[in-house]
Amino acid sequence: MVNNIELNKRQSEILKIVKADGPITGEQIADRLNLTRATLRPDLAILTMAGFLDARPRVGYFYTGKSGTQLLTENLKKLHVKEYQSMPVAVQDHVSVYDAICHMFLEDVGTLFVLDQKGLLAGVVSRKDLLRASIGQQDLTSLPINVIMTRMPNVTYCEPEDLLVTVASKLISKQIDSLPVVKKTEAGYEVSGRITKTNITKAFVSLSKDEE
């Protein structure tokens, strides 16, 4: 039984035929279903792309024997940070908490990355960090952001080639909403993007669209 991916009636029939009698050519499958090869082509393409079937020239289609869960895991491992990341939103480490709050509203993000004088990653501030600072008695216009940020080396980050599923695990285990995407240099970490729970959700949706 195939999990996770909904096949239409014709695709299920094709799968049944190939499971029973593969390797089998597209022509033969078409004959068995009383359809033309052209009519079957989109269904065969979907079954092959989704990994249920494999095709070899001059041999035909055969069943890969993979379960829906195996296929989903394989497809998940094709999603990388660089394909789903957003632009980073950053502030300099000397700006005030007041200015950081304004910046967060203007840019409509939940996390700001904080950069040092050299433009390298120094820390992160979240909405709650800013709220916490705001309920104290401090003057927010003179309180620098680097006093309240979560600072390096305690910032969890990722790199463009990392798997999205690895990032998702880090977001869960660290109970945070986003990670900076960094490029490591000798001087420190340059920030090239951000990955948030929204990016992960978008990837999740795109996975389901692949199968339609």
Residues that bind ligand ADP (CB under 6 A): 110-111, 124-129, 150, 154-156, 175-179
**Identity of the residue, 170 or 202, whose beta carbon is nearer to ligand ADP in the bound complex:** 170
CB of 155 vs ligand ADP, minimal distance in Å:
4
**Identity of the residue, 96 or 156, whose beta carbon is nearer to ligand ADP in the bound complex:** 156
DSSP string, 129-191: HHHHHHTSSS-TTTSBHHHHSEETTS---B-TTSBHHHHHHHHHHHT-SEEEEEEE-SS-EEE
CB of 24 vs ligand ADP, minimal distance in Å:
51
**Identity of the residue, 50 or 104, whose beta carbon is nearer to ligand ADP in the bound complex:** 104
**Identity of the residue, 21 or 99, whose beta carbon is nearer to ligand ADP in the bound complex:** 99
CB of 185 vs ligand ADP, minimal distance in Å:
19
CB of 98 vs ligand ADP, minimal distance in Å:
17
